[in-house]
Amino acid sequence: MNKNELNLDKVYIDYIKKRLDGMGYHFISLIIDKMVSFIECSFVDIQIILNSKSINDEKITKDFIDMLRVMERKFLHMLQVIDIAINLSEVNHYESYRQIANILVATFHDFGRILEIHKVGTKMGSNKVNHTTLGLSYLFDDSMERERIKEYLSEELYLIYRDLIYTGIEYHGTKDVPYGILSPLATSVVKDIRDADKLAVMSSFVDPNTDMDTVFHMPFEELAQIPIHDVTLKEIMSHKQIDRSNKDVPYDKMRQFISHIGFIYDINSPLLYDYLYLTHWVERYIGHVRNYLRDENQDKMYEIEAECLDFLRKKQSHNINAGKLGYKVFQKK
Of 42 and 107, which CB lies nearer to Fe ion in the complex structure? 107
Interactions with Fe ion, residue window 139-198 (CB under 5 A): 197
Q: How far is the CB of 327 from Fe ion (least distance, A)?
A: 12
What are the Cα distances from residue 269, in Å, to 64, 121, 167, 253? 39, 37, 19, 29
Q: Does 110 bind Fe ion (CB under 5 A)?
A: yes
Q: Give 115's Cβ-side CA count (13 Å radius).
A: 17
Q: Which range binds Fe ion by CB under 5 A, 28-36, 97-105, 107-115, 299-307?
A: 107-115
Compute the Cα dihedral for 24, 30, 33, 34 and give only its sign.
Answer: negative
Q: How far is the CB of 148 from Fe ion (least distance, A)?
A: 19
Interactions with Fe ion, residue window 199-238 (CB under 5 A): none
Is the CB of residue 77 less than 8 Å from the CB of residue 140? no
Of 35 and 223, which CB lies nearer to Fe ion in the complex structure? 35
| DSSP summary character for residue 180 | G
Q: Where are the beta strands (DSSP E) in the chain?
A: none
User: Which of 188, 67, 78, 62 has the alpha carbon at shortest distance from 125?
Assistant: 67
Q: How far is the CB of 257 from Fe ion (least distance, A)?
A: 20
Q: Does 116 bind Fe ion (CB under 5 A)?
A: no
Q: How far is the CB of 297 from Fe ion (least distance, A)?
A: 30
Spatial CB neighbours of 155, under 8 Å, sequence gap ≥ 6: none
Of 197 and 274, which CB lies nearer to Fe ion in the complex structure? 197
Of 50 and 86, which CB lies nearer to Fe ion in the complex structure? 86
What are the Cα distances from residue 286, in Å, to 264, 281, 301, 309? 14, 8, 8, 12
- Could you give the CA distance from residue 117 to residue 46 in angstroms, rounded to a whole number? 10
Interactions with Fe ion, residue window 249-288 (CB under 5 A): none
Q: How far is the CB of 197 from Fe ion (least distance, A)?
A: 4
Of 110 and 192, which CB lies nearer to Fe ion in the complex structure? 110
Give the residues lining the site for Fe ion (CB under 5 A): 110, 197
